[in-house]
């Protein structure tokens, strides 16, 4: 998994491209990006499946912040990003959330 950051609008916005490679997708037919930037909506940021089998989505985030997120595969299996900037304990359950710092 990976995140590519590109600052736009004079550095006030960062376009983050999230990528889940085929080998990490666990054979999922759909993956959604879920985080505090979309109020943990499991539908707002569906990832596009590429011909390679990788999944990707880009999100514009306000710079100077940290955002918690996770991936949800096939609407039921939660997964962290293996290359997140850091991890923090989740308020819900015995797990951690991935964090992207922009």
pTM: 0.92
Q: How far is CA 26 from CA 2, 45, 94, in A?
A: 16, 19, 22
What residue ranges do the domains of the chain occupy?
2-101
Looking at residue 92, what is its pLDDT? 80
Looking at residue 94, what is its pLDDT? 80
Tokens of 38: 């979309």
The domain defined by 2-101 carries CATH number 2.60.40.10 = yes
Looking at residue 1, what is its pLDDT? 82
Strands of the 48-49 sheet, one edge to the other: 2-8, 13-20, 55-62, 48-49
Other residues' Cβ atoms within 10 Å of the Cβ of residue 5: 14
Find out whether 36 and 66 touch, Cβ atoms under 8 Å: no
* Alpha carbon distance 83, 92 (integer Å): 22
pLDDT of the chain, 102 residues: tens digit per residue: 889 999 987 889 999 999 999 999 989 999 999 999 999 999 999 999 999 999 999 999 999 999 999 999 999 999 999 999 999 998 887 889 999 999
Q: How far is CA 76 from CA 17, 31, 72, 79, in A?
A: 22, 10, 6, 10
């Amino acid at each position: 998994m990976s995140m590519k950051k590109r600052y736009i609008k004079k550095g006030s916005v960062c376009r983050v491209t999230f990528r889940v490679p085929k080998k990490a997708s666990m054979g999922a037919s759909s993956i959604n990006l879920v985080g505090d930037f979309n109020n943990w909506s499991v539908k707002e940021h569906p990832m596009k499946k590429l011909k390679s089998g990788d999944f990707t989505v880009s999100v514009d985030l306000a710079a100077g912040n940290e955002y918690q997120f996770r991936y949800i595969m096939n609407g039921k299996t939660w997964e962290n990003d293996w290359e997140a900037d850091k991890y923090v304990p989740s308020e819900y359950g015995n797990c951690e959330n991935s964090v992207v710092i922009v």
